[in-house]
Structure 1
Amino acid sequence: MTRFLPLAALLAPIALGACGLQPLYSGGSSGAVAKAIGQVDIAPIEGKAGWLVTNALKDRLGAVSSGGAPYRLVVRLDDQISELGVRRDNSVTRERRTLRARYQLVDAAQGTVVLDQTAGSDVGIDVVQSDYAVIAAEDTALERLSTVIADQIVARLALYARRRVQADAQPAP
């Protein structure tokens, strides 16, 4: 059995290449997808969660609001904290913080929405005796959720950009 492992290791890249998988960011930062998602202007997002999501998106997209970008990303957030665990004396022991985003990618030249999707995540928070510790945990949860939301949005933007690049590369009939 162990003598077939080297052969399997040599054949694995060939089998993966035949399945049609392609790297999303081929070409690195100079690739077509990376260049396409780098041309997205992020519209201001309200609130503390909006500030965190905007910064996370800018970090991932490499976008700086220039005003001349061909696409504009509009994001609306819904940030909720709900009680999850309650003791007999009606004191809360656990909370759930949920952050949802509805985002639209707008073609700046035409003003049309080319992508309209949602992203979301949630996290549990232990409620302890110290109010300071609970507030710190809620803030940390919001920071974590903001990065998760930004990762989801960027992944979907990259998939959209790849489809656009592939469609533009197809010869006209």
Structure 2
Amino acid sequence: MTALARLLAAGALAMGLSACGLQPMYAGGGSGTVARGMAAVEVPPIEGQSGWLMRNALTDRLDAGGSSTPRYKLVVRLDDQLEGLGVLSDGTVGRERRTLRARYQLVSLDTGQILLDATSGSDAGIDVVSSEYATIAAEQTALENLTKVVADKIVTQVALTLREQK
């Protein structure tokens, strides 16, 4: 293939990609539509320890562009469950599953309209060991990790919704 043919092929490929309709989510950086919209999302307190962790994770991710006057409210309700799965021959539980589910709504403070109504969740397996302290620490770590995973999923959906609100 000659240099001219390669150049023409690269140009055709670049033109084809520009016509595909893909756009960067955070176009404009911190001053872009999505970043400004996310900084304008207020997260009211969420009940319980898992709620405290979730609110902190969400505010950390949403307010990355700096604080501004709230235009949206993100209402989150959590369902945090811990259940025993594996029962050993002596009748004790050998494995647990921690499940964190979130039902959330993004509400416009101007109109009261619900812009997003969705659920998200994740779960983690925990080995139950002979040390009660180690098991409690594993349960707590699982909750902290699940909170981060679910918060990331929520923020992604909020960003997609705000991108459509242009």
Q: TM-score range by the shorter chain?
A: 0.7 to 0.9
* Superposition deviation, residue 107 in structure 1: 1.4
Residue number in structure 2 paired with 1:86: 87
| Counterparts in 2 of 1:34 and 1:134: CA distance versus 1, 3 Å | same
After superposition, the CA RMSD in angstroms is 2.5
Tell me whether 82-91 or 126-135 shows the greater mean CA deviation.
82-91
Offset, 1:86: 1.2
Offset at 1:157?
0.5
1:1-173 equivalence runs, <5 A? 14-62=15-63, 68-165=69-166
CA pair 27-67 structure 1, distance change in 2 beyond 3 A: closer
Cα contact 1:41–1:67 (8 A) shared by 2: no
Structure 1 gap ranges (5+): 1-6, 166-173
The match for 1:171 is: none
SS at match of 1:62: helix
Show structure 2 runs of 5+ residues with no match: 1-7
Query: Are the structure 2 counterparts of residues 84 and 10 from structure 1 closer, same or farther at C-alpha, using a change threshold of 3 Å?
Result: farther
Aligned-pair identity in percent equals 59
Distance 2:29 2:149 in 1: 22
**TM-score, normalization by structure 1:** 0.83
**Counterpart code for 2:163:** R
* 8 Å contact from structure 1 (residues 106, 114) kept in 2: yes
TM-score normalised by structure 2 residue count? 0.86
What CA deviation, in whole Å up to 9, does each residue of 1:132-171 have, x standing for no partner?
0000000000000111111011000000011111xxxxxx
**Change in 2 beyond 3 A, CA 1:91/1:14:** farther
CA distance in 2, matches of 1:108, 1:61: 16
Runs of 4+ in 1 over 4 A off after TM superposition: 7-15
